[in-house]
């Protein structure tokens, strides 16, 4: 619910009150003595969904933007006429629950801090995320998402597009570019410092750190996360609900991958940074795409109906552009996903071959204790490099042909030759 406070310009009092009477809206009018331009202030409560159409209708009476219109939250309204008004405008879908276009623009502006604050908070969040990644600490990584000021710029570009506010769109896109560059740069500088001063473990292998390795080779599921964050972000801001947790979700799609990209660069592994950088970009673009589609579906349109056609064309062009770029990145992620699938298939086939060989008569006394596939470090498309097979058998016995047989069988399932390492462990039965 909203309480609207509207200053009434000289000569417009009757037209405004007639509009409110026609809509059966309760109102209170007080005389205005502070200025000759305004004769009164009218107060009236409205359901969220009614704010935009009612204000648009009032503006058609000749009210321009020079008149003061203040929209504030109203906790409770007790009125039969107000209940009827809610039934008229609210039908339970997102479009009827959304806040007005004017509030949406104000909310997008409020969510975007000043540039100095944005820079400082982005750098801090990137450094905290990098520290959490190097420590392999999910709790610290989550903490970095909380302080990241990314939700405003991420959603502001979509808001600016659908309501024909090019200044907001330009500012939001600029902030997003600055944010990505700052996050990766700050992460790289901090990681270099941590490595050269031995704050990070000297022999740290990136692929052995769970929080890092999972972002070095992202798959298509990452795209789903970003799209979901974009839709959730827009729905939360458009319905006037809390956006704090959704902001964490958007930061989750951007800050940790940016930290991994910076760490990879600091470790002298630019190829390993490719996957993380692509993940940052595809997540950022997906959030913008999801936000743009959701806002347009929710019914947001520019205030000036004469610019509606031009805005629709602009929205279509930007959606088409975002879709093409996201699809291009999706193909890249799909390649990583397929590579991971092939690796998993190879591991399963190789394990089955080992188990099958051990069921044959010469090797029935042996059993498979452990099976491990070691991948190379050529991120983001990793391939099997070495297979370690640990076999248990009775003491004093040996099977000289077993290693050759297993190596041949395992390599039959590999695209490229892999090293097969057989480890024997004597086992005793009691």
Q: Is 404 helix (H, G, I), strand (E, B) or coil?
A: helix
pTM, two decimals, is 0.75
How confident is the model at residue 188, as a pLDDT? 94
Peptide bond into 380 cis (omega under 30): yes
Q: Is 67 left (phi over 0), alpha (psi -120 to 50) or beta?
A: beta
Please, are residues 121 and 149 in contact by the beta-carbon 8 Å criterion? yes
* Residue 366 pLDDT: 84
Low-confidence stretches of the chain (pLDDT beneath 50):
none
Q: Where are the chain's structural domains?
A: 2-90, 103-303, 342-426
Confidence at residue 92, expressed as pLDDT on a 0 to 100 scale: 54
Could you name the CATH architecture of 2-90? 2-Layer Sandwich (3.30)
Place of tokens 């940052």: 280
Burial (CB count <10 Å: 0-12, 13-18, 19+), residue 143: middle
Q: What token pair was written down for 421? A: 């390492």
Radius of gyration of the chain (CA): 30
What angle do helix axes 244-266 and 151-162 make, rounded to 10 degrees? 120
The Cα–Cα gap between 83 and 273 comes to: 57
Contacts of 67 (CB under 8 A, 6+ apart): 6, 7, 8, 9, 38
CATH number 3.60.20.10 given to 342-426: no
């Amino acid at each position: 619910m909203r309480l609207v406070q509207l200053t009434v310009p000289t000569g417009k009092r009757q037209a405004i009150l007639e509009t409110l009477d026609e809509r059966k809206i309760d109102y209170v009018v007080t005389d205005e003595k502070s200025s000759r331009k305004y004769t009164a202030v009218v107060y009236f409560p409205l359901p969220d969904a009614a704010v935009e159409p009612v204000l648009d209708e009032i503006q058609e009476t000749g009210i321009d933007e020079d008149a003061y219109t203040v929209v504030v939250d109203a906790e409770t309204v007790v009125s039969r006429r107000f209940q009827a008004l809610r039934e008229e405008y609210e039908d339970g879908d997102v479009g009827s629950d959304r806040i007005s276009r004017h509030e949406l623009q104000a909310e997008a502006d409020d969510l975007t801090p000043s540039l100095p604050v944005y820079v400082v908070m982005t750098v801090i969040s990137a450094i905290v995320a990098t520290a959490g990644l190097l420590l392999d600490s999910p709790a610290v990584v989550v903490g970095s998402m909380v302080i990241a000021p990314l939700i405003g710029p991420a959603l502001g570009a979509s808001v600016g597009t659908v309501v024909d506010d090019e200044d907001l769109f330009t500012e939001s896109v600029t902030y997003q570019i600055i944010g990505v560059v700052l996050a990766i740069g700050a992460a790289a500088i901090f990681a270099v410092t941590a490595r050269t001063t031995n704050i990070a473990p000297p022999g740290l292998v990136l692929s052995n750190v769970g929080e890092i390795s999972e972002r070095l080779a992202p798959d298509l599921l990452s795209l789903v996360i970003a799209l979901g964050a974009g839709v959730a972000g827009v729905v939360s801001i458009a319905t006037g609900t809390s956006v704090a947790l959704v902001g964490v979700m958007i930061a989750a799609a951007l800050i940790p991958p940016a930290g991994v990209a910076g760490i990879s660069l600091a470790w002298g592994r630019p190829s390993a940074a490719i996957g993380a950088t692509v993940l940052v970009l595809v997540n950022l673009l997906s959030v913008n795409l999801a936000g743009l589609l959701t806002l347009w579906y929710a019914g947001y349109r520019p205030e000036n109906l004469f610019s509606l056609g031009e805005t629709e064309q602009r929205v279509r062009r930007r959606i088409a552009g975002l879709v093409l770029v996201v699809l291009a990145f999706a193909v890249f992620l799909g390649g990583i996903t397929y590579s991971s699938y092939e690796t998993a298939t190879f591991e399963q086939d190789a394990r089955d071959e080992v188990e099958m060989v051990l069921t044959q008569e010469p090797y029935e006394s042996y059993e498979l204790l452990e099976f491990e596939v070691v991948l190379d470090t050529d991120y983001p498309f990793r391939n099997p490099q070495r297979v370690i097979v640990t076999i248990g058998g009775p003491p004093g016995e040996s099977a000289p042909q077993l290693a050759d047989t297993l190596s041949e069988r395992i390599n039959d399932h590999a695209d490229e030759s892999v090293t097969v390492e057989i480890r024997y462990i004597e086992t005793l039965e009691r």
